[in-house]
Structure 1
Amino acid sequence: MLPRGPFSANVSPAVVFLTVGGLYVAQSVIGGLTMLGLPTVLRNQGMPLDQIGLVYLTVLPWALKFLWSPFVECFRLPRVGRNRSRLIVAFGGSLCAAGLVVIGLTGLSPLMPVLVSLILVAFVTSTVDIACDGYAVETLAKEHHGWGNTAQVGGAYLGSAIGAGLFLVLVDRYGWSPAVYLMAAVVFLLGLPFAFGPATRSAVETRHHAPSLVTALKRPAVRRGLVVAAIYVAAQKWGLSMLGPFLIDYGFDLATVGVLNGFGSMVVGLAGALVGGAAVRLFGANFVLTLAILLQTAMLLAFAWFDFTGSAPTSIVIGVAVLSSSGVMALGFVALYSEFMGWSDPRQAGVDFTLFQCADSLVSMVGGVGAGWIAERFGYSAYFGIAAAICFAAAPVIYLLMRGRATLATGAAL
């Protein structure tokens, strides 16, 4: 069996949940602002969809962070010394907050400086995430992985409610700069519980394992997991890349989309995460992942029909949008990220878990940029129809790959 981290028996899972959860919320505030809030604001100002798709280039650091994850892990877990997770999180969180302040000062025009600034913020955030994930996996015993997974998925939806929901309402009422300044303050404050929490109690240790990408890629669990991640993310996320702009073009204003994002993330998303966690325990991850893909296929076909007819009641459009972007997504990603934790070696959890997330981010980025191009040239109906076909085709592939989960577990224990 893979050895557990040195903190497993010393730190309450509930404390880890609260402090690490704050970091995941902060990361998702930035992600929600960038991936959902900003495209919606830009479309509201009349920017073409293919240019809005360039926002997904900000995912690049998340897609490539596996390249520097071994260096982060080696710094975080020195051969002799204390765990340095706290130092990485405190310094990185402060830089992220400062970066958002700069974005508030520059404004939205021209767009390129904003994108460059957001890419730099994403680089810092993704680096902090390596330390955060590593700390969670090594600190929590296997039976408590559900705590970490709930903190990650639940924190993501709560952060998205703030970064994509509250943020849009604030932009609509007070303008871009004040809204961004408030998000910077939220990001900074959310990092304080971790900086002054259990991470301060790390002991001086001697470590004999050197984290590396080669070690990770030698394990069958990691290799199969990367394929599962790439296919599943393409199925779930590609069809939702242009959801914000679609809602604006359908006639909703910024405040309404903001409330929709906020309510969906805080209520439907959290409910989906809880249901997903229970369903994984009752029926297994394979069942939950396959079910989520089939449900998302139906939602994408509904969006294509909404655009084609142009006459669907707004209440139905809102309901499907909330269920698709929050409920179904949360349902499936609880199962997927729970598997990520199980497939990661606690001795280099920051490297292993980062590889899975990079597959997620790289596929998301490619789909986001391509989504803008397709939607601009062929319309939303074609875009959602293509996404639905990809989603449906992924279902049997995921099911067959996940049938080998026992093999993955065996590989993880070697």
Structure 2
Amino acid sequence: MAAPASVSPSPAVIVLAVGGLYVAQSVIGGVTWAGLPAVLRERGLALGNVGLLSLIALPWGLKFLWAPVIERFRLPPVGRDRSGEIVMWGGGLSVLGLAVVGFWGPVSLGPVLACLTVVALATATVDIACDGYAVESLPRAQHGWANAAQVGGAYLGSAIGGGLFLVLVAGLGWAPAVWALAVLLVLLGVPFLLRWRATAIATHRPHTPSLAAALRRPDIRRGVLACALYVLAHKTAMMMVGPFLIDAGFDLATVGLVNGAGTLFVGLAAALAGGALVRVCGARAVLVSALGLQAAAFFFFAARHLYPAIPASALIAVAVAGSSGIMALGFVALYAQFMHWSDPRQGGIDFTLFQSTDALVSMVGGVVSGYAAQHLGYGVFFAGAGLLAAAAIPAIALICRPGAGGGVEALYQDRSAAFLPSGESR
């Protein structure tokens, strides 16, 4: 029996509806991971305190704990999909939290950290529903569209939160810049809510989503290990790139343009290229290549710190390539693996386990990287990061080898049985 129309929307609808939510979530992430660290460093905060911003990622690391509750609420045994309700409540709390942050200056680190953590809790909950909706709505052959929405939306949001936000802070001040982002979040959530209200129908779902069901599957355990290794080697040291550029003599507006324009153009282009390369070469080859390129970028940062005579233009170019292009290239492949390993009947739980691993490793790595850069110096820090990325290459190649794990294909072949119109059976 064919799945309901609401379960198989066109790829264009997914890009518009789900992509808007990914952009909104990444706006907040861009502020946290790129924008705010540069603002705080410009205003004299120690690198160790800048690294504490990684603690805001704690809800993203722990969201697997409440993902089963959210997924069972979102997908009741009989009834309408409740994704839109989760998005409305979580999005509203995020907007309110940003509005409050606008009243505090960035030097009020404690209150800002507390409020942004609440915002992260709300957006992490929305992301559970968003990921589950994407996994269940698209057949495996169309996962590339979801990856484009996820990674492309993430880089567009990061460009806004880490780039445009800094330009607004430099030109208008803290409060107007934060409030402008809050208004933007509202606009980005509208397409998803309109589509959800128009297409959600009552459905019978025989499978009960659970964390235990996810952990029993070898694909999930393999994916968690791959995610932890990849994020540790590829991502955690990137939080220090903004402070590194500030200490290298660049002003806040320049760093904002690097984060924004580089992410917007280079990141989006690399995301599209990554999607094409995954289809041609496979996710494993793209992941390995991205790690090699990122290791080279880290080694360059170390060399630039030790030899300041290297032109500033070269530093900017590598910073853009490392933080935008290479990152996008690798994470398109990683997200493709996530979707491949996820069960469409409980995608919000399975995908959340991978993202929680990403967030926990990023959080711990970010805190450690701040103190490491402060006490070891940028040269030693980035050289060590380069060695770590290079060492992770054979491990990722082994974990993501073709045919490893398997077993998810049958879930996609039988996906129509998991989402039957209310009152019908197989």
TM-score (norm 2): 0.94
| In 1, Cα distance between equivalents of 2:265 and 2:211 | 38
- 1:141-175 deviation digits (Å, cap 9, x = unpaired): 11111101000000000001111110000001111
| In 1, Cα distance between equivalents of 2:326 and 2:2 | 32
Structure 1 residue 409 corresponds to structure 2 residue 411: no
Q: Is the 8 A contact 1:4 1:141 kept in 2?
A: no
3-state SS of the aligned residue for 1:205? strand
Q: Is the 8 A contact 1:21 1:152 kept in 2?
A: yes
Aligned-pair distance for 1:311? 2.1
| In 2, Cα distance between equivalents of 1:138 and 1:394 | 32
Aligned-pair distance for 1:259? 0.8
1:81 maps to a residue whose letter is G
| Structure-2 residue corresponding to 1:147 | 145
Structure 1 residue 312 corresponds to structure 2 residue 310: yes
- 1:389-414 deviation digits (Å, cap 9, x = unpaired): 111100011011111x4133335636
1:276 maps to a residue whose letter is G
1:9 to 1:101, Cα distance in 2 relative to 1, 3 A: closer
Show structure 1 runs of 5+ residues with no match: none
| In 2, Cα distance between equivalents of 1:367 and 1:151 | 26
1:411 to 1:138, Cα distance in 2 relative to 1, 3 A: closer
| Structure-1 residue corresponding to 2:203 | 205
| Structure-1 residue corresponding to 2:228 | 230
3-state SS of the aligned residue for 1:47? coil
Alignment of 1:50-129 (within 5 A): 50-129=48-127
* 344, 347, 361: which one aligns with 1:346: 344
Aligned-pair distance for 1:274? 1.1
1:115 maps to a residue whose letter is L
2:290 maps to a residue whose letter is A
| Structure-1 residue corresponding to 2:423 | none
| Structure-1 residue corresponding to 2:416 | none
Structure 1 residue 334 corresponds to structure 2 residue 332: yes
Aligned-pair distance for 1:198? 4.1
- 1:177-207 deviation digits (Å, cap 9, x = unpaired): 1100001111111001111114531111122
Identity %: 56
Q: Is the 8 A contact 2:6 2:200 kept in 1?
A: no
Alignment of 1:182-193 (within 5 A): 182-193=180-191
Q: Is the 8 A contact 2:340 2:408 kept in 1?
A: no
Q: Is the 8 A contact 1:101 1:180 kept in 2?
A: yes
| Structure-2 residue corresponding to 1:264 | 262
- 1:339-398 deviation digits (Å, cap 9, x = unpaired): 101111111000000000011111111110000000111111111011111111000110
| Structure-1 residue corresponding to 2:379 | 381
Structure 1 residue 29 corresponds to structure 2 residue 38: no
Aligned-pair distance for 1:110? 2.2
Structure 1 residue 361 corresponds to structure 2 residue 359: yes
3-state SS of the aligned residue for 1:210? coil
Q: Number of aligned residue pairs: give it.
A: 411
* 397, 400, 405: which one aligns with 1:399: 397
1:192 maps to a residue whose letter is V
Q: Is the 8 A contact 2:83 2:133 kept in 1?
A: yes
* 174, 177, 184: which one aligns with 2:175: 177
| Structure-2 residue corresponding to 1:287 | 285
TM-score (norm 1): 0.97
Show structure 2 runs of 5+ residues with no match: 412-426
3-state SS of the aligned residue for 1:197? helix
| In 1, Cα distance between equivalents of 2:217 and 2:129 | 21
| In 1, Cα distance between equivalents of 2:46 and 2:258 | 23
- Which 10-residue stretch deviates more, 200-209 or 184-193? 200-209
Structure 1 residue 218 corresponds to structure 2 residue 220: no
